[in-house]
């Protein structure tokens, strides 16, 4: 038996963009055009301010702008968590969650560490305030799902010279490899500053419309893998029960199996 992603897809692709600057508006359009799904990590304390690289998206537009994608935390004030006391760290993360939940009207469970800085303590505090995952800036050039979602290392930055090559390698993932995940991150202001919007358009176009890919947000990926890890197997491994609220997909020989929420299937 091998695991598959949602709807029996073999591969998953997700994007993560930090800081919530006005250039997110154009990036969201590109993602929409090509059917990509992304997570946008925002600093709630900076929304609507204009004093940095063209400014930040406004509080009023968040709900509409990011509809269909995921909004997640990046710290209220983009502080380096390594420099904060524990109470400051707690406020930096929890107040961000509270503000973004109010603005989006939905639950916010994700984080990316400002400056890519993290520590054991930051992970503990993130977990305590109900954050399920957090992205680092450690590029792996690989396609594994993380073993620790609070230290979620991405595949690569969009500016990586190997981006397209990695994309092809991801599509060519051998069939014995379970749950290949390509995770691309960056900042939308980089496309403006470097005048290279064509780069992300080219990559999205290359990846779009592929039946074998599950286009998902960071949170959807985290939720799916977490639900998969909760599956309960019989001692002989021939039966599996799914106690979660979403279907989990598997493949045995050539057959695709769906284990529905609250149900058990036999192999």
* Site residues for Zn ion per CB under 5 A: 18-19, 114
The residue among 95 and 258 lying less far from Zn ion, judged by its C-beta, is 95
The residue among 42 and 240 lying less far from Zn ion, judged by its C-beta, is 42
| 59 contacts 48 by C-beta, under 8 angstroms | yes
The residue among 9 and 41 lying less far from Zn ion, judged by its C-beta, is 41
Sort strands 213-215 and 11-18 into parallel, antiparallel or unpaired: parallel
CB of 200 to Zn ion, least distance (A): 18
CB of 115 to Zn ion, least distance (A): 7
CB of 130 to Zn ion, least distance (A): 21
The residue among 114 and 181 lying less far from Zn ion, judged by its C-beta, is 114
Give the residue among 236, 231, 221, 235 at the shortest CA–CA distance from 257.
231
The residue among 43 and 242 lying less far from Zn ion, judged by its C-beta, is 43
CB of 118 to Zn ion, least distance (A): 13
Ranked by CB distance to Zn ion, the top (closest) residue is 18
CB of 85 to Zn ion, least distance (A): 21
The residue among 118 and 170 lying less far from Zn ion, judged by its C-beta, is 118
**41 phi and psi angles, rounded to 5 deg:** -95, 115
| 87 contacts 50 by C-beta, under 8 angstroms | no
CB of 18 to Zn ion, least distance (A): 4
The residue among 19 and 190 lying less far from Zn ion, judged by its C-beta, is 19
At 116, list the tokens. 């890519």
CB of 39 to Zn ion, least distance (A): 13
């Amino acid at each position: 038996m091998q695991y598959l992603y949602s709807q029996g897809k073999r591969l998953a692709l997700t994007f993560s963009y930090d800081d919530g600057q006005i250039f997110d508006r154009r990036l969201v359009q590109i993602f929409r055009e090509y059917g990509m799904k992304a997570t946008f990590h925002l600093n709630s304390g900076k929304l609507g301010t204009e004093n940095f690289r063209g400014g930040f998206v406004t509080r009023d537009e968040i709900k509409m702008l990011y509809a269909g994608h995921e909004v997640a935390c990046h710290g209220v004030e983009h502080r380096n968590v390594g420099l904060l006391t524990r109470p400051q760290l707690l406020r930096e993360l929890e107040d961000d969650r509270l503000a973004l939940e109010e603005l989006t009207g939905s639950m916010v469970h994700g984080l990316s560490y400002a400056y890519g800085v993290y520590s054991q303590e930051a992970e503990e505090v993130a977990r305590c305030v109900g954050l399920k995952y957090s992205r680092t800036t450690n590029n792996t050039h690989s396609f594994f799902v993380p073993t620790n979602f609070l230290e979620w290392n991405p595949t690569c930055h969009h500016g990586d010279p190997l981006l397209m090559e990695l994309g092809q390698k991801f599509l060519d993932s051998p069939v014995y490899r379970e749950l290949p995940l390509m995770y691309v991150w960056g900042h939308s202001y980089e496309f403006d500053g470097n005048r290279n919007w064509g780069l992300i358009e080219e990559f999205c176009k290359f990846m779009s419309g592929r039946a074998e890919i599950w286009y998902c947000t960071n949170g959807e990926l985290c939720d799916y893998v977490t639900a998969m890890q909760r599956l309960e197997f019989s001692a002989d491994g021939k039966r599996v029960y799914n106690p979660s609220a979403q279907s989990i997909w598997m493949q045995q020989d050539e057959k695709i199996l769906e284990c529905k929420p609250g149900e058990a299937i036999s192999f």
